[in-house]
Structure 1
Amino acid sequence: MATPTVSVIIAAYNAMPYLTRCISSVAEQSIGQRELEIVVVDDGSTDGTATELERLTRVYPGLLDVVRQENSGGPSAPRNVGLDRAQGRFVFFLDADDYLGPEALERMVAAAEKNNTDVVLGKVVGVGGRGAPVTMFRRNRARTDVFSSRAYWTLNPMKLFRRDLLERHRLRFPTDLSIGEDQPFVAAAYLNAAGISILADYDCLFWVHRDDDGNITKRTSGSEPRLRFLPRMVDLILENVPPGPGRDHLAHRHLTVDVLELLRDHLVLEPREIQQKTLARLAETIAPLCHEGLREQLSAMAWLRLHLIRNEMLDEVLELVRFEQELKRTGGATPVAVEDGRAYARYPYFRDPERAIPDECYDVTDQLSLRHQVTRAEMRDGALHLAGHAYFHRVATHDVTTELILRERESGAECRLPVTHTATPGLGADEDLGEYTYDKAGFDATVDIATAAEGKALGNGLWDIWLVVGAQGLSREVRIGSKRAADVSGKAATHIVDTAEGLQTVTLYTTKPHGNFTLDIGENKHEVLPHLELDAIGWKGGIAAELVVTGRCTLDSYPDGTLTVRLTTSDGAGSETTVDFPVTQPANGDTFTVDVPVSSLSAGVWGGELRLAGWTVPLLPLPQDLAPAKWRRRGLPWYAKPVPAVPGDDELFALQVAKTDLVKAMVGRMKS
């Protein structure tokens, strides 16, 4: 038998009726059965799992390797058995309750091979109300590591592993843990992996909530099992990751996710004497990971929780858990107190003299949500007009000091400009149970491009648009544009603006992928010429000696009279004559028509172009077989006809205007 690409390892215990869909989802993978091996370890099931495995073996002959053993009490032993039997270049652990998307394995293997990575995380979707990890699946990551991503926030083993990685490091699931056994296994794989890929654009794994609540995490309750695996994870981090940001990144996950789950779902349900012992053990466990430098990474609530645990303040811990649960139930938001430019959440025991909990446990200044929306963003009459609202969540709009900043991306040059603070009655009334309103969060600003830089025009560059939102002494910057009203366009709009330094190109556009507003001044990303097009040129029907030029100008605005059709002729001695025929901006649409009365031109060969200041587009050449135009000037006959601009070159516009030579004309008639 050829070596399979993927060995899918399924530990099954009383897995009916879920097992059928689980195995079928693997057998029918788009990667094909020739690339697969399914190793199923029946861990002493008593519900018909064994019978179903026999049936599936007949349905998929040669595909399933079924092992039966006495119940081991957890998933570690059967997974290890499956891993020992696996032959594939990759292995994927799948719980018997869950199932795969049709292309999951093909896509994950392709990611591992293309990016030469050892672990691939496929997007997980919850089914039947079961929660699934989200933060690591915001976008695809071709190649990352455990310190540069949120991969560590999912430590379940339902991932694709390169088997060579697991064998080189002899990675197996610990059999002495009834829960959390996957964490040391996956963490060690992460830390030793050559790279990690994340597939976020395809639903790879479906996590099923069992109707009988039979998922392993549901069956195993109590603080004790969690207090066995958590110290092991702390030791693993201390032994393998040096002090610093990397260690803190991993510690963050355990100090928030695991600690909160232990308190919320288990400790609160236990007898008082058990609670006290549990809290003491938990305080001892987390102590090596806790230090003041970690504070910046954690929310105030998490830091307060850790403070109470480390000081073994049981009643306060229980009250904080109750407080958090009530917030979650009601959807409310904790009020804040603002003092000396800092904001403090009024969590339990804030400024309680008996507890003397430090203010830093309540400091949410850097965590306050800054909310904004742009309701107007447009260039008009040479100025940028902006309006909208911006405020700190839970901070009343008193003493508002919001201002606008234009910041050039490369040089960092800034223009700080005032805004008009406008009333926003009722803003916030439809959220937080109406507890907070922000009645003066509005802003309105007009930026004259010609004078914005201390009386001078803004220089060339990409000028990102920021607000410095201020209220009650708090202040924070935010790029604006990603949140905007439905009628505010993010489409690039290019304008020609008249300044003291001359005509300037200004494009208001939104960045990708975030959608924030930027002013492109000077064609850094948005050129003018693509906006100028010529469609046709020829004699105007019914009017002797008059050309009609049609074209399109998709610029959003330009000063009157600056867009012209310019004709030029030379006397051969270095002297040129030019005549401009202005293009009138169409009231609607972008198509224009220009009438050029050639009967007013002096004699000569005239070239032509569509011109907007320094931007030019050559006029289309006239067909060489175009009939001459004829007219009389002061009683004498004149004509105009197309000629090559250069002998043998018919690609440029060239129009010869001349007085008819009567002698030659008569000779020509006589010969004809």
Structure 2
Amino acid sequence: MKISIAIPVYNSEDLISECLDSLVNQTMPKEDYEIICVDDKSTDSSLDILNQYKQKYENIVVVERTENSGGPGAPRNDAIKIAKGEYILFVDSDDYLGSEALLRWYNFSKENQSDITLGKLKGVNGRGVPQSMFKETNPDVDLVDSRIIFSLGPTKLYRTSLLKENNIIFPTHIKAAEDQVFTMKAYLKAKKISVLADYDYYYAVKRDGDHMSAAYVSPDNFYEAMEDIIRAIRASDLEEDRKIKLMAVFLNRHFDFSRTKNIMIKIKKEEERAEWFKYLSSFIRVVPEEVDQFVLPHIKLRLLFIRNNDVQGLTQYEREEQDIIKFCTVHNGNLIARYPSLERYPVSEELLQVNYKNKLEHHLQNIEFRDRSLSIEGTIKHKLVNDETNNNQSLTGVFVHRHTKAEKYILPVSFENSTFAFECKFDELASAEEDLGVWDFFIESSIDGYKLRGRIGNKRVPYKYSTKTMYLGHNAFFVFSARPYFTMNYDNLSIDIKKHAYTEAELCYQAETKDLSFIFKDKQICLPSHSKIVVHTDQSEILLPVKSFNLEPNSTKLTVNVQSLLEQLAHVKKKQRLIEFAINTSQNKIFAKEDNQVIILDKKNAEQSFMLFFRKTVEVQYKLTTSKSKFYFQY
């Protein structure tokens, strides 16, 4: 057996079917996994539904508890005891898996000999899930230096022997955060922890009604679990310095992503606030003081209040932090938050630096192709700086080559009251061979020596062009296309520079005006003003000014008048001549999409000699024909 799936079930009649359907329809063969459903004495029809699935699917096991345990921990422990799989996966009854999850999860874990594998989580219906550790797949993640401590839920693939041999079970004496205790103990015993980020493995669903993470828990119960985690770290086989750093990472997570976050201002009643502070202080006393130096600055300040038993100070600090912009100033190239609550403590200015909490708030109001450039207009300001100080900022646009990390800088055309306009000149961005590739756009903002650079684009008005719209230009070396687009994961603005050899077009001709149109389907092509069509013959090049240029939703129409072409080719003695069309330079060819197309460009009467002295007037047709993506001028 490869995988055992453990599902604690309690009054899940409206949810369990979706979960089980996702499990029985996996791409992994059914004989390779079992589904252990532990009913925790449900009072609805959950057990009946489980038994119906059991009758239909041989790999489903139903365990009936004789009394309700009050939480998912005991049912999960029941599943661990009877699990036959090499690995065990914990799934909540209101969640579900991607159809390929088990097969991908197992094969990767087996190949890399992983003890624990985190599969990428996907939140559904607004459910928040940890994301920072899923930027890339990593077969061997460091417990201390990575972000996996920010994922302490049990919904992972564990080697079953890791749990059984080390007696790692869910604590049942606590009813809050018991999954964090379990996961941390498993992390500490694992020899190899992996992250899989190539697929949406686990779908965590936000349902109507109460969720366990939002339900009330008593402070003594909650902080007992936190103390258990600290004790587990201190008792682990890690080196002492790594224990200290791991506890610091855990405290960063705890204060920013648990019930403790802003706990003093969330609780309105003073008596209740005092009770939570008492147990929070008890928890922090278990944490060695040398941990304090490794936590984030705002966590370090919280610990200062807690270790000094200053409940009023912590409450005031949390309130001030909510209104941090009132207390921020720029000093010596840094953002400093001078909180009144800290006036009676000897705190260094370094500890008051809040650079890491600041970010650029931006919005793109217009992105538009101009003559030879891309106009980028919008607003930008520093989140932690008031409007008056924000008016002192200066901007620089920065394009960073994604591969070489080379940088190109542009100054704003205008910038006033946080409103900017940049003109990105394509010919300067693509000036040499090494410029080929993707350029990511940043804006660097400076205020009195303090600088912050941020990616731009994910907050914007709707982009008016298609994803294929590009500028077509040329430098001294090659023809290039410049295509702005928004990145897949973070939706920020980038420009892709590529060599451009040819463009396929459909041809359309208006005989009355002698206008020849090149229609580029499925492409929006922007050209510099005064562009020309180059007609290349074996003897010369003829330049035809572009008469009109129209961008349509899914195509581009470029029109020229061929009268001058006819005049210059009329004297040609050959009845058929190969010609080539290009835009602005003969290095860039236009190919015809349609083969064997014939366009009558003009008709004229001409005298021709027949049988010595006899002459006859005949009609001569000047034709443009296509054959295998080549053009022929003939008469």
TM range (shorter): 0.7 to 0.9
Whether contact under 8 Å (1:642, 1:655) holds in the other structure is: yes
Within the candidate set 548, 557, 566, 1:597 is matched to 566
Whether contact under 8 Å (1:39, 1:86) holds in the other structure is: no
Q: Which residue of 2 aligns with 1:285?
A: 286
Q: How does 1:618-633 map onto structure 2 within 5 Å?
A: 631-632=605-606
Q: Which residue of 1 aligns with 2:577?
A: 606
Using a 3 Å threshold, how does the CA distance of structure 1 residues 615 and 451 change in structure 2: closer, same or farther? closer
SS across alignment from 1:135: coil
Please give the alpha-carbon distance, in whole angstroms, between the structure 2 residues aligned to 1:457 and 1:196. 40
Q: How does 1:351-500 map onto structure 2 within 5 Å?
A: 352=343, 354-395=344-385, 396-423=389-416, 440-446=417-423, 460-462=435-437, 463-486=439-462, 489=465, 491=467, 493-496=469-472
Q: How does 1:51-62 map onto structure 2 within 5 Å?
A: 53=47, 57=51, 60-61=54-55
Q: Which residue of 2 aligns with 1:434?
A: none
Please give the alpha-carbon distance, in whole angstroms, between the structure 2 residues aligned to 1:497 and 1:54. 69
Q: Which residue of 2 aligns with 1:578?
A: 540
- Following superposition, the deviation at residue 390 of structure 1 comes to 1.5
Whether contact under 8 Å (2:247, 2:291) holds in the other structure is: no
- Following superposition, the deviation at residue 221 of structure 1 comes to 0.7
Please give the alpha-carbon distance, in whole angstroms, between the structure 2 residues aligned to 1:487 and 1:476. 26
Instruction: Name which of structure 1's ranges 181-190 and 69-78 shifts more when overlaid on structure 2.
Output: 69-78
- Following superposition, the deviation at residue 502 of structure 1 comes to 8.1
Whether contact under 8 Å (2:142, 2:193) holds in the other structure is: no
SS across alignment from 1:304: helix
Please give the alpha-carbon distance, in whole angstroms, between the structure 1 residues aligned to 2:461 and 2:218. 48
Q: TM-score, normalised by structure 1?
A: 0.70
Q: Can you list the C-alpha shifts for 1:624-669, whole angstroms capped at 9, x where unaligned?
A: 9999987537998897899999xxx998555677xxxxxxxxxxxx
Please give the alpha-carbon distance, in whole angstroms, between the structure 1 residues aligned to 2:207 and 2:373. 56
Q: Can you list the C-alpha shifts for 1:337-385, whole angstroms capped at 9, x where unaligned?
A: 23232222354424x1x22333344321232121122333334333443
Whether contact under 8 Å (2:95, 2:205) holds in the other structure is: yes
Q: Does 1:556 align with 2:526?
A: yes
Q: Which residue of 2 aligns with 1:433?
A: none
Within the candidate set 459, 462, 485, 1:510 is matched to 485
Whether contact under 8 Å (1:91, 1:162) holds in the other structure is: yes
Using a 3 Å threshold, how does the CA distance of structure 1 residues 268 and 163 change in structure 2: closer, same or farther? farther
Please give the alpha-carbon distance, in whole angstroms, between the structure 2 residues aligned to 1:475 and 1:150. 27
Whether contact under 8 Å (1:452, 1:458) holds in the other structure is: no
Whether contact under 8 Å (2:255, 2:261) holds in the other structure is: no
Whether contact under 8 Å (1:5, 1:36) holds in the other structure is: yes
SS across alignment from 1:603: coil
Whether contact under 8 Å (2:76, 2:170) holds in the other structure is: yes
Q: How does 1:23-422 map onto structure 2 within 5 Å?
A: 24-25=17-18, 27-31=20-24, 36-40=34-38, 42=40, 48=43, 53=47, 57=51, 60-61=54-55, 63-69=60-66, 76-93=73-90, 98-101=93-96, 104=97, 106-116=99-109, 118-121=116-119, 123=121, 132-136=127-131, 145=141, 147=143, 150-167=147-164, 169-190=166-187, 192=190, 194-197=193-196, 201=200, 204-206=203-205, 215=212, 218=215, 220-223=217-220, 225-238=221-234, 239-242=236-239, 243=241, 248-258=248-258, 260=260, 264=264, 278=279, 280-287=281-288, 290-292=291-293, 294-295=294-295, 298=296, 300-321=297-318, 327=322, 335-350=327-342, 352=343, 354-395=344-385, 396-422=389-415
Whether contact under 8 Å (2:119, 2:156) holds in the other structure is: yes
SS across alignment from 2:391: coil
Whether contact under 8 Å (1:53, 1:66) holds in the other structure is: no
Q: Does 1:525 align with 2:526?
A: no
Please give the alpha-carbon distance, in whole angstroms, between the structure 1 residues aligned to 2:462 and 2:194. 41
SS across alignment from 1:403: strand
Q: Which residue of 2 aligns with 1:615?
A: 588
Equivalent AA in structure 2 for residue 481 of structure 1: G
Whether contact under 8 Å (2:36, 2:79) holds in the other structure is: no
Equivalent AA in structure 2 for residue 578 of structure 1: S
Please give the alpha-carbon distance, in whole angstroms, between the structure 1 residues aligned to 2:47 and 2:474. 79
Please give the alpha-carbon distance, in whole angstroms, between the structure 1 residues aligned to 2:512 and 2:275. 103
SS across alignment from 2:345: coil
Please give the alpha-carbon distance, in whole angstroms, between the structure 2 residues aligned to 1:240 and 1:208. 40
Whether contact under 8 Å (2:374, 2:423) holds in the other structure is: yes
SS across alignment from 1:386: strand
Equivalent AA in structure 1 for residue 181 of structure 2: P
SS across alignment from 1:302: helix
- Following superposition, the deviation at residue 92 of structure 1 comes to 4.1
Q: Which residue of 2 aligns with 1:666?
A: none
Using a 3 Å threshold, how does the CA distance of structure 1 residues 533 and 229 change in structure 2: closer, same or farther? same
Please give the alpha-carbon distance, in whole angstroms, between the structure 2 residues aligned to 1:549 and 1:54. 74
Identity across the alignment (%): 18
Please give the alpha-carbon distance, in whole angstroms, between the structure 1 residues aligned to 2:198 and 2:591. 50
Using a 3 Å threshold, how does the CA distance of structure 1 residues 288 and 257 change in structure 2: closer, same or farther? farther
Whether contact under 8 Å (2:414, 2:420) holds in the other structure is: yes
Using a 3 Å threshold, how does the CA distance of structure 1 residues 261 and 563 change in structure 2: closer, same or farther? closer
Please give the alpha-carbon distance, in whole angstroms, between the structure 1 residues aligned to 2:128 and 2:300. 23
Equivalent AA in structure 2 for residue 229 of structure 1: A
Equivalent AA in structure 2 for residue 40 of structure 1: V
Instruction: Name which of structure 1's ranges 146-155 and 311-320 shifts more when overlaid on structure 2.
Output: 146-155
Whether contact under 8 Å (1:92, 1:161) holds in the other structure is: yes
Equivalent AA in structure 1 for residue 533 of structure 2: L
Instruction: Name which of structure 1's ranges 301-310 and 140-149 shifts more when overlaid on structure 2.
Output: 140-149
Whether contact under 8 Å (2:138, 2:195) holds in the other structure is: yes
Please give the alpha-carbon distance, in whole angstroms, between the structure 2 residues aligned to 1:650 and 1:493. 27
- Following superposition, the deviation at residue 391 of structure 1 comes to 1.1
SS across alignment from 1:230: helix
What RMSD, in angstroms, separates the aligned Cα atoms of the two structures? 5.0
SS across alignment from 2:537: strand
Using a 3 Å threshold, how does the CA distance of structure 1 residues 526 and 201 change in structure 2: closer, same or farther? farther
SS across alignment from 1:402: strand
Whether contact under 8 Å (2:219, 2:276) holds in the other structure is: no
SS across alignment from 1:486: coil
Within the candidate set 537, 550, 555, 1:567 is matched to 537
Q: Which residue of 2 aligns with 1:669?
A: none
Q: Can you list the C-alpha shifts for 1:195-223, whole angstroms capped at 9, x where unaligned?
A: 24469857734466766x9x598464133
Please give the alpha-carbon distance, in whole angstroms, between the structure 2 residues aligned to 1:393 and 1:510. 26
Please give the alpha-carbon distance, in whole angstroms, between the structure 2 residues aligned to 1:641 and 1:71. 92
Q: TM-score, normalised by structure 2?
A: 0.73
SS across alignment from 2:498: coil
Q: Can you list the C-alpha shifts for 1:245-293, whole angstroms capped at 9, x where unaligned?
A: 777544532354458259547998668997786465333222366243x
Using a 3 Å threshold, how does the CA distance of structure 1 residues 385 and 134 change in structure 2: closer, same or farther? same
- Following superposition, the deviation at residue 608 of structure 1 comes to 0.9
Task: Structure 1 unaligned segments of length 5 or more: list them.
Answer: 424-439, 569-576, 658-672
Whether contact under 8 Å (1:9, 1:91) holds in the other structure is: no
Whether contact under 8 Å (2:367, 2:463) holds in the other structure is: no
Please give the alpha-carbon distance, in whole angstroms, between the structure 2 residues aligned to 1:230 and 1:585. 74
- Following superposition, the deviation at residue 618 of structure 1 comes to 6.2
Please give the alpha-carbon distance, in whole angstroms, between the structure 1 residues aligned to 2:277 and 2:445. 46
Larger radius of gyration: 1
Whether contact under 8 Å (2:429, 2:435) holds in the other structure is: no
SS across alignment from 2:24: coil
Please give the alpha-carbon distance, in whole angstroms, between the structure 1 residues aligned to 2:478 and 2:75. 75
Equivalent AA in structure 1 for residue 396 of structure 2: E
Using a 3 Å threshold, how does the CA distance of structure 1 residues 459 and 444 change in structure 2: closer, same or farther? farther
